[in-house]
Structure 1
Amino acid sequence: MPTKTAPKKPAATKKTAAKSKAPAKVKSKAPAKSKAAAGTKSPASARSKAPAKRKTQAVTSANSQFKNFEPYQPKRGEEYMSDAQLEHFKHILMKWKSELMQEVDRTVTHMKDEAANFPDPADRATQEEEFSLELRTRDRERKLIKKIDSTIERLEQEDYGFCDACGIEIGIKRLEARPTATLCIDCKTLAEIKERQELG
């Protein structure tokens, strides 16, 4: 009689829970701008960024025009404001006046040559600003020319080189630094202090 063998139970299959994992987040990068695209600008913006700016001539300082001269070396025992000294300062003043007049004429000619009707408002504003600066400088120089003329008249009347306030000698060094000076350094300093106090 055959022996009965118990039927083998099928191996329990492990249930793998099908866990649905969320997909990994992928950072979406913005597409890189091509260098060519980044470098290209619209014609309108290119015109506004790079205006056709015309540089006017350098504005020269009115107070530095007369400095090309040989400093005067007074002789021992020489009288203050001698004929030689008066001639020295007359030469400085005449040369200074001549250079200032040349600058004024050069500015007028330059502005005529540089005048242009720029379509770009930025260019027009730049040109107007440069012209305005030059005109203010030349206006100061015209006033200075009148002051030089007045100083030359005083020099010819031998009323040059003495302080209008106290009557002492202004000094050769100070007059070479500022040929139109009418006050000594002490009186000029005092006048500036009073002016500042009055202005508050």
Structure 2
Amino acid sequence: MATALIDDIDVLAKARRGIGGAYVPTDDEPYMCDAQQEYFRNLLFAWKKSILDAAAGTLQQLQDGPLREPDLNDRASSETDWSIELRTRDRQRKLIAKIDSALRRIEEGEYGYCEVTGEPIGLGRLEARPIATMTVEAQEAHERREKVSRDD
């Protein structure tokens, strides 16, 4: 699980480098002004493109890779590697849906605001997790409620 999270962070970092530019959102400007919305829109599009490019690479490797390894240990190792790779791609497929949802929220003017409280999520949190839909406090409360219902 930690590896998948690291992969998501690496892909997001790659997307951040991909958008380039000198602009970085700051607290000195109005929250979710046009420049900030454009920055996050570009970041989300770049993140989605990075994920799709990685998925295309995986598909190509699956098509080109050896179908059978002569040694049983090698075959087991290859199958384990592919299983992990495919689980990662499935997680990223779900992430693309969240990215599309964030892009829709930008278009509708809802991006950057908590879906529970309506308060601004904060630039730091959006930089770290551009698909965030809740403030840290609302997310923590949500996770506490989830934990309580799991324990019951």
- TM bin, normalised by shorter chain, reads 0.7 to 0.9
Deviations 1:75-132 (A, max 9, x none): 73x3211001100100110100000000000011112222231222222111111110
Aligned residue in 2 for 1:88: 39
* Structure with the higher fraction of residues in helix conformation: 2
Residues 1-200 of structure 1 aligned to structure 2 (within 5 Å): 61-67=7-13, 68-69=16-17, 72-74=24-26, 76=28, 78-200=29-151
Contact conserved, 1:71 with 1:176, CA < 8 A, in 2? no
Once the two structures are TM-superposed, the CA of residue 71 in structure 1 deviates from its matched residue by 7.0
Cα–Cα, structure 1 residues 75 and 133, in superposed 2: closer, same or farther, change >3 Å? Answer: closer
Unaligned regions of 5+ residues in structure 2, if any? none
The 3-state SS of whatever aligns with 1:150 is helix
Deviations 1:34-74 (A, max 9, x none): xxxxxxxxxxxxxxxxxxxxxxxxx8702331223467243
Q: CA RMSD in A?
A: 2.0
Once the two structures are TM-superposed, the CA of residue 158 in structure 1 deviates from its matched residue by 1.0
Q: Distance in 1 between matches of 2:112 and 2:124?
A: 11
The 3-state SS of whatever aligns with 1:154 is helix
Q: Distance in 1 between matches of 2:120 and 2:100?
A: 21
Structure 1 length-normalised TM:
0.66
Once the two structures are TM-superposed, the CA of residue 157 in structure 1 deviates from its matched residue by 1.2
The 3-state SS of whatever aligns with 2:31 is coil
Unaligned regions of 5+ residues in structure 1, if any? 1-58
Cα–Cα, structure 1 residues 190 and 109, in superposed 2: closer, same or farther, change >3 Å? Answer: same
Structure 2 length-normalised TM:
0.85
Radius of gyration: which is bigger?
1
Contact conserved, 2:25 with 2:36, CA < 8 A, in 1? no
Identity %: 38
- Which deviates the most, 114-123 or 127-136? 114-123
